[in-house]
């Protein structure tokens, strides 16, 4: 039986795209992984570059709006930002929901190097959280 992990964020441009990339790489094949936003901002090119550094290609990902059918049938819905946690449609009670909050790298300030470091830090934190999820699901 296929399970579905659905990542939600405000614009489906950075954090949810990185999470989808990590989860597709790390979860067993019985999981379907998708991401969406309450708005569609397009996939952030720096998120694509950050994931490429860890050999995960998200360049063909699309920025999608929340799909009601996926939301209502997912095994787990994970919000990645406070805005999505507050504004996303409510999934039915049989759908497990969790919030894994991460800083928005697209809003980082400072020099180009400092902004890039935030993308890398958030990317790595999301990867570690998904690694933990994979272990939890195996137990």
Can you spell out the DSSP letters for 41-99?
----HHHHHHHHTTT---TT----BPPHHHHHH-SEEEE-SHHHHHHSPPPPTTSEEEE
Query: Among the options 81, 85, 106, 130, which is catalytic?
Result: 81
State yes or no: is 81 an active-site residue.
Answer: yes
Catalytic, 14? Answer no
* Given 14, 33, 88, 91, the catalytic residue: 88
The C-alpha atoms of residue 111 and residue 86 are separated, in whole angstroms, by 31
Determine what percent of the chain falls in helix, strand and coil, rounding each to the nearest 5. Answer: 45, 15, 40
Catalytic residue among 5, 9, 23, 47: 9
Cβ neighbour number for residue 52 with a 10 Å cutoff: 13
Enzyme catalytic residues: 9, 81, 88
């Amino acid at each position: 039986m296929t399970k579905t992990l659905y990542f939600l964020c405000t614009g489906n441009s950075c954090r949810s795209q990185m999470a989808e990339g990590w989860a597709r790489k790390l979860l067993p094949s019985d999981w379907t992984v998708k991401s969406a936003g309450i708005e569609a901002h397009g996939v952030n090119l720096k998120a694509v570059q950050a994931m490429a550094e860890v050999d995960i290609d998200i360049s063909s990902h699309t920025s999608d709006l929340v799909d009601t059918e996926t939301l209502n049938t997912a095994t787990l819905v994970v919000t990645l930002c406070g805005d999505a946690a507050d504004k996303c449609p409510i999934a039915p009670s049989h759908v497990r929901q969790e919030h894994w909050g991460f800083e928005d790298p697209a809003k980082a300030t400072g020099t180009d190097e400092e902004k890039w470091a935030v993308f890398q830090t958030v990317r790595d934190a999301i990867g570690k959280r998904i690694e933990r999820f994979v272990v939890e699901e195996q137990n």
